[in-house]
Amino acid sequence: MTKNGKIALGIVVLIIIVIAFVSMSGNKETGPIRIGFVGPLSGDAANIGQNAKAAVEIATAEVNAAGGINGRQLEVMYEDGKCGGTAASSAANKLINVDKVSVILGGACSGETMAFAQAAEQSRTPVLSYCSSVPTLTKAGDYIFRNYPSDSFQGKFGADHLFNTLGKKKVAVLYVKSDWGIGINDVFIQEFKKLGGTVAVDDGYDQNTHDLRTILTKVKAANVDALYFLGYSNETVVALSQAKDVGLKTTWFGGDGWDDPKIWSSAGKVAEGSMYSRVTSNPTDAFRTAMKAKTASDEIAGCSATAYDGTKIIAKVIGSVGTDKTSIKNELYKTVYTSGVSSKEISFDENGDLKTANYEVAVIRDGKAVVSK
Amino acid sequence: MDIVPQLIVNSIIAGAIYTMVALGFNLIYGTARFFDLGYGALTAVGGYAVFYFYKSLGLNIFFAIVIGMLVSGLLGWLLYRFIYAPLRERKSSSMVLLVAALGAFTAIQAVIAILFTSQFQTLSTSAGNDHVYEILGGVITQVQLITLIIGIVLMLGMALSLKYTMFGKAVKAVGDDEEVSKIVGINTRVVIGKVFFIGSAIAGLAGILVGFDTGIEPTMGLSLLLKGVIASIIGGIGNIYGGVLGAFFLGFVENFGIWKISGEWKDAIAFGVLIIFLLFRPQGILKR
């Protein structure tokens, strides 16, 4: 046998040993139940992803402390979706094909969930997104769920609040070119015009841009009553400070992407008095305390409560029907979850969307967001 | 309200930042004749060095900036000395060098993300409370004004030292023909090493200034590098004045381009201009 031949044989033997080892060790019925998590653990929306991860860790620890799911421990595989399609899609592929998870909890950003919705649907893996709000996700597939409301609710709420409650008749809209930004923008424009308002500027911008001066100058020149600014943390912090630079003074109204303590604190005084809409949440004191211990912050970023509830819902569903993916999907449609920290009652309609959604308006005061009455 | 003055100022601000990046890139490209992608990551290195020394350790701001420039300059020199120089001496193709540079770029970015997380950070301690000046009816902040002044001073300093100092002449000679320079007794390795140090320090300074203006993140380098490269190519690659001219040209085209159409077209406009130049005037506005 030649030297190369020996090496090749050695490799083949090694592979067989590894495969044998892996298939022996993975005892399906008694080992931990694996579920996947996808969220932006780095990048623009990292704060939201890290907070959501903390919330999932809390929920997992609670489930396991209470004896796990039918005696089996719950194990979560965390993957970074980087708030974008490419990373989220490879993260989900790894979870589905390598880790063989029963359910994927995520993604957070709409672009993440949309990117792997089809792959999940094809592999019949149920997906429960705790933060994606893009309207098109409604029709993404039978296995795709979310316990976070669709933007068709939010865009409509924003239009109604700006026009009727705040009395702003002429507005500008600046939106980040992500599924989330475009989704809300479309619904908002349609609803605001229907109410009889004028949209003077409607401009999109790239997610990673840090130069928004010119579009803010355009907003200033248009002399609007309010600016509906749809951005994630980074763009929003930059925009608030650059608006001050170019001398734009107007009423700011943001979307749920603003539900991030980073915006309230790092933008400093320029954010003072700005408002945004967010999903009404119902955090218990126990959840607040646990989150504070994890994140060392009093503030809970958006989607943490839904991530926590999502984990609990999955644990409950697996507890009653086991780890078969199709049974999990069928059970999710029937589930009514009541003890949530995000909303009092969570149930899904025939598209896997939330049946009801309530929004509230928060105002930024002294680096904190307080609910506006 | 008249929007034009502010648009002009916005263009100048963008141009000033692109100038900084283009100057260093042009210097390195003009001398070593290779597309140094790693240069992009060095902007982030400068920004993060200042973030660490100024914001975390609380050192004096000017001291921190000098250290930031030295750190990125040194890293640029190390990249040259231990990666690019051996490859060049082995007469590796420019493809190999480009891939090596891409590797360096990615590795540096990843290390920064590990050390400092990927989150967006602001360098200035008073975001949005910067001193503001009004010129031509538009508004410019102190940091932006400083960026502009440094850009112009650097341009003049570089142009003059290339023309009148011994080192400058050696740099130009190496850029014209490396082999002949060796024959006439120039230690090309040392000269190019120094060029890498200076160019990378400028990259670091660009990153620092951007950090004070908006903020820093590990991935900030690529978009800065691309804009700097576009500016260099439009203006005339290897030509110092050309790079600056290209930078301001790009700033104006980008900002005036999105005056009447949606802001999402900005990058499409920038790269469209690049393609037009590559097709119809590949040597750029000013020839080397």
Q: In a 3-state reduction of DSSP, which class is residue A366?
A: coil
Domain range A34-149+284-356, CATH class? alpha beta
Residue A202's pLDDT is: 92
Tally of CB atoms within 10 A around A7: 11
To test the contact with chain B by mutation, choose from A241, A250, A264 the residue with the greatest count of B C-beta atoms within 10 A, namely A241
Token pair belonging to A218: 């355009």
The topology (CATH level 3) of A152-281+360-371 is Rossmann fold (3.40.50)
Q: Is A185 on the interface with B (CB under 8 A)?
A: no
Distance from CA of A159 to the nearest CA of B (A): 21
Backbone angles phi, psi at A348, to 5 degrees: -110, 145
C-alpha distance across the termini of chain B, in Å: 42
Contact A246 B219 (CB under 8 A): no
**Partner residue facing A46 (CB), from B119, B130, B138:** B119
Identify the CA nearest to B151 among candidates B226, B281, B32, B243.
B243
Is the C-alpha dihedral spanning A15, A19, A22, A25 positive or negative? negative
Decide if A269 touches B, using CB distance below 8 A. Answer: yes
Domain ranges of chain B: 17-219
Q: What is the pLDDT along chain B (288 residues), one digit of tens a residue?
A: 578 888 898 899 999 999 999 999 999 998 888 888 889 999 999 999 999 999 888 888 899 999 999 999 999 999 999 999 999 889 888 889 999 999 999 999 999 988 987 777 888 776 556 678 887 778 888 888 999 999 999 999 999 999 999 999 999 899 888 889 999 889 999 999 999 999 999 999 999 999 988 888 888 899 899 999 999 999 988 888 899 999 999 999 999 988 888 888 888 899 999 999 999 998 888 876
For residue B246, say if its preceding peptide bond is cis, omega within 30 degrees of 0.
Answer: no
At A134, the pLDDT band (50, 70, 90 cuts) reads confident
With CB atoms and an 8 Å threshold, state whether A241 touches B128: yes
Q: What amino acid is encoded at A314 in this protein?
A: I
pLDDT at A1: 59
